[in-house]
């Protein structure tokens, strides 16, 4: 299937590790220009070098930006549009993974998972309206099912992301802008969340693995493939959906 992502300009938050790193590579493989950020300058420097060699026919532009600083976030998003002349796709991927039921965690989770996501999209919106582009937000199955993280802000914010994205889909459809969510299940990355759980809490890891009916967790590439489809011309009539990619982990029926 030809996705038609060549020459599209993608802005993606959190692109040096985990699912974000796979999404950056997947967009580059399709010939897109990808602007991505993370907080760690050394990771950005090495990603910029490696990706330039790996994908000579595409353009990867990483920048060190902490999205919790909304002023810096907004000026980065604007600078992406200035540098590349347009924005076609925004992928809001970062979470601060706050899972304690404390005021501090609720505040941080709202600030990063919701407010920074809103701010990313808000700043990109005039550019997306020009290109009739689209938005993909990254939620989680934890926004859909009450799981081991409850009670905590993580799932509540992820549910809010799905709702806000549906609002965007409905209100932006007349302007030709689409908005969808991708909700990953448990995605195993050695230097990621589940790798850490495997090493730090092997019992929790085994319990969660046993809940996965495919007998395995997902791979970050499997999320990237779903996001690429949502962001592509092939999904031209798909807007407002929550694309759950979880190997049938969720037991509820999504109606």
For position 193 contacting ligand NAP by CB under 6 A, the verdict is: yes
Separation of alpha carbons 60 and 43, rounded Å: 13
Piece of 75-83, 184-192, 200-208, 229-237 that binds ligand NAP (CB under 6 A)? 184-192
Contact 83, 60 (CB under 8 A): no
- 189 neighbors 132 (Cβ within 8 angstroms): no
User: Does residue 68 contact residue 119 with C-beta atoms inside 8 Å?
Assistant: no
Q: With respect to ligand NAP, which residue has the nearer C-beta, 6 or 228?
A: 228
Q: Does residue 162 bind ligand NAP (CB under 6 A)?
A: no
Residue 139 falls in the annotated catalytic set: yes
8 Å CB contact between 71 and 61: no
Contact pattern for ligand NAP over residues 106 through 145, marking x by CB under 6 A: ------x-------------------------x-x-----
DSSP track, 33-92: EEEEEES-HHHHHHHHHHHHHH-TTSEEEEEE--TTSHHHHHHHHHHHHHHHS---EEEE
Site string for ligand NAP, 4-33 (x = CB under 6 A): ---------xxxxxxxx-------------
Whether the CB-CB separation of 218 and 157 falls below 8 Å is answered with no
Q: Does 46 bind ligand NAP (CB under 6 A)?
A: no
Nearer to ligand NAP, 54 or 236 (CB): 54
Q: Which residue's CB atom is positioned nearest to ligand NAP? A: 18
- C-alpha 52/C-alpha 78 separation (Å) is 22
The footprint of ligand NAP on residues 72-101 (CB under 6 A) is 93-95
Residues that bind ligand NAP (CB under 6 A): 13-20, 37-40, 43, 65-68, 93-95, 112, 138, 140, 184, 186-187, 189, 192-194
Active-site positions read 139-140, 154, 158
């Amino acid at each position: 299937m030809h996705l038609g992502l060549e020459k599209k300009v993608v802005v993606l938050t959190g692109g040096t590790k985990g699912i974000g790193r796979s999404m950056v590579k997947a967009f580059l493989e399709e010939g897109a220009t990808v602007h991505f950020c993370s907080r760690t300058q050394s990771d950005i420097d090495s990603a910029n070098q490696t990706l330039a060699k790996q994908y000579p026919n595409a353009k990867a532009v990483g920048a060190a930006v902490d999205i919790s600083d909304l002023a810096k976030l907004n000026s980065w998003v604007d600078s992406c549009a200035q540098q590349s002349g347009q924005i076609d796709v925004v992928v809001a991927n970062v979470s601060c993974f706050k899972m304690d039921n404390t005021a501090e965690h609720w505040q941080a989770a709202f600030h990063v998972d919701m407010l920074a996501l809103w701010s990313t999209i808000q700043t990109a919106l005039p550019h997306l309206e020009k290109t009739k582009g689209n938005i993909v937000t990254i939620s989680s199955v934890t926004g859909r099912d009450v799981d081991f993280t409850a009670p905590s802000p993580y799932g509540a914010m992820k549910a809010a992301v799905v709702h806000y994205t549906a609002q965007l889909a409905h209100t932006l459809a007349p302007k030709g802008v689409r908005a969808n969510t991708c909700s990953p299940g448990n995605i195993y990355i050695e230097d990621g969340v589940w790798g850490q759980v495997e090493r730090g809490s092997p019992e929790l890891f085994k319990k969660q693995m046993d809940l996965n009916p495919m007998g395995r967790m997902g791979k970050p590439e499997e999320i990237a493939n779903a996001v690429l489809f949502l962001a592509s011309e092939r999904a031209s009539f798909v807007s407002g959906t929550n694309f759950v990619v979880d190997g049938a982990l969720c037991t509820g029926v999504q109606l």
